[in-house]
Amino acid sequence: MTRIFDFTRAMVRTPGPSAVKGLRAGGGPDPDFAGLLSEHAGYVAALEAAGIAVTVLDPLATFPDALFVEDPALVFREGMAVLLNPGVPSRAGEVAELAPALAEHFEQIETLAEGHADGGDVLVMPGRAFIGLSARTDRAGAKELARILELFGLATTIVTPPPGVLHLKTACSLIDAETVLATGAIARSGLFADYCVIEVPADEEGGANVLRLADRVLMGSGYPRIADLIAGHGAEPVPLETGAIAMIDAGLTCMSLRW
Ligand code: CIR
């Protein structure tokens, strides 16, 4: 039986030179373009090594953050996709750029008609999606997204993540159907009371965004205790270099759409 983290296809967008100007909440220097390119290539190689056929879209010079394809859309292996409305003006135009590529793969495409929502704020568990309110996802967008996801048969829960994270999934990730990896603040919040929570050690919170693919978990290198926790849970940790993308506030889930 196909599990929620068994994917056969993914879509990514190669970073262009403007990606070094990607948004970052805490300021800081630009990452090196060669570093971004090599981390992205390593990520694509890791998707392919997991048996996933990857569609690679061309860079978009006018949208520095367009390599983070997870934010302008949501996709489901059952053939549905949702065009979202990113909550920061510089990313709004990414949706129209992504739409034609999605139309080649998805039969039913819904559009967020109200409010703002970023895909990074949506954690999809079996039968239920958690939608985080953030600086990017407002209540109108979350409610509208909930309406659409309920059409798809998913229950939804709108949650307020602890402060200080860009997106809900900056601080938590799916490990399996019953399990999430989460920072201490999320673990203590009771948000995932119905799930098994693997708590990220306090000094490794930057590594809480991981990507489960079949029997492996793509994760940032430099988080040895998270790697041990994942291995202890029976999945294979695959550490990837993420130093450059982390400088523009990104992790593992945000660089692809999977179905
Ligand atoms: C942004 O601030 O929008 C990008 N620099 C990073 C987006 C990361 N997206 C994600 O985690 N889903």
Provide φ and ψ at 38, rounded to 5°: -70, -35
- Length in residues, the chain: 259
Q: What is the mean pLDDT of residues 241-247?
A: 98
Helix (H, G, I), strand (E, B) or coil at 33: helix
Task: Compute the distance from residue 34 Cα to the ligand 1 centre, in Å.
Answer: 19
Say if pTM beats, i.e. exceeds, 0.85. Answer: yes
Domain regions of the chain by residue span: 9-258
62-82, pLDDT tens digit by residue? 999 999 999 999 999 999 999
Q: Return the pLDDT at 147.
A: 98
* Ligand 1 nearest atom to the CA of residue 25, by list position: 2
CB atoms < 10 A from the CB of 150, how many?
12
Return the percentage of the chain with pLDDT > 70, whole number: 100
158-211, pLDDT tens digit by residue? 999 988 899 999 999 999 999 999 999 999 999 999 999 999 999 999 999 999
CATH class of 9-258: alpha beta
Which residue puts its alpha carbon closest to atom 8 of ligand 1? 250
Which residue puts its alpha carbon closest to atom 2 of ligand 1? 23
78-117, pLDDT tens digit by residue? 999 999 999 999 999 999 999 999 999 999 999 999 999 9
How far apart, in whole angstroms, are the C-alpha atoms of residue 100 and residue 108? Answer: 13
| Single-letter residue type at 62 | T
Task: Compute the distance from residue 1 Cα to the ligand 1 centre, in Å.
Answer: 32
The secondary structure element, H or E, covering residue 101 is: helix 94-103
Residues with a CB atom less than 6 Å from ligand 1: 22-23, 65, 68, 70-71, 91, 120, 166-167, 170, 248-251, 254
Is the pLDDT reported for residue 150 higher than 90?
yes
Q: Is 167 a catalytic residue?
A: yes
Task: Compute the distance from residue 172 Cα to the ligand 1 centre, in Å.
Answer: 14
Task: Compute the distance from residue 74 Cα to the ligand 1 centre, in Å.
Answer: 14
Q: Is 254 a catalytic residue?
A: yes
